[in-house]
Amino acid sequence: MTEAMITMSKIEKTYQSGDNVVHALNKIDLTIEAGAFVSIVGPSGSGKSTLMNMIGCLDKPDSGQYMLGGSHIDKLKDRELAEIRNHKIGFIFQNFNLLGKLTAAENVELPLLYRGVKTKERHARALECLSMVGLAERARHQPNQLSGGQQQRVAIARALAGEPQILLADEPTGALDSKTSEEIMNLLIKLNQNGRTIILITHDLNVARKAKRTVSIRDGKLQEGEHI
């Protein structure tokens, strides 16, 4: 039986909006196995961003239990959550979040720099990750010298650099044209086939269907399959 990478049980998160209480997450139950490729799909305001923040250890639930790789995330302090993010999760964002003054290789090195990895090892790992996404020859280019698709590939290489257990992709094709989106999704599929656990957050059903499994969120409630 495949080991569970993520287990969420009765997760709740509420926010105050004026006089109203908004149930951003309403008793969420979710299990994701190691090596899975899962898309979480929902419209704006459905709770998917809150769920992404919860999965990515950027926030903690008001109640419920969250287990990630054997750790009780809901019981950790902020410093411990930062350690989890740095070592277990690779983030891929819609707008790439690359630093414009750094080269592609230097951007990829950033997670390793935060860990205190020595220079030579950082350089070697960055080039290895850029090779994995087909951009080794662009290592010395800055983001403004790269296309949108190439920038997203650099962002994926950066996410891979720390050898995380999970790749968490937030609308990774949202800023790309359809052809480039297809290329990025094919790259994520390939990474998953090579054993990476990937969680994809999107509002686009066509993108969501590229994953092996789709779950839908609406009004803070999760359902298996497409229900948006």
Does residue 20 carry a pLDDT above 90? Answer: no
**Mean pLDDT along residues 1-23:** 86
The model scores a pTM over 0.85: yes
Report the chain's mean pLDDT, rounded to a whole number. 92
Q: 60-76: per-residue pLDDT in tens?
A: 899 999 999 888 888 88
Q: 130-150: per-residue pLDDT in tens?
A: 999 999 999 999 999 999 999
Domains of the chain: 36-49+81-224 (3.40.50.300)
| Structure confidence at residue 56 as a pLDDT band (50, 70, 90) | very high
Q: What is the pLDDT of residue 21?
A: 84
Our measurement of the distance from residue 151's CA atom to the centroid of its chain's CA atoms, rounded to an integer in Å, reads 16
Does residue 228 carry a pLDDT above 60? Answer: no
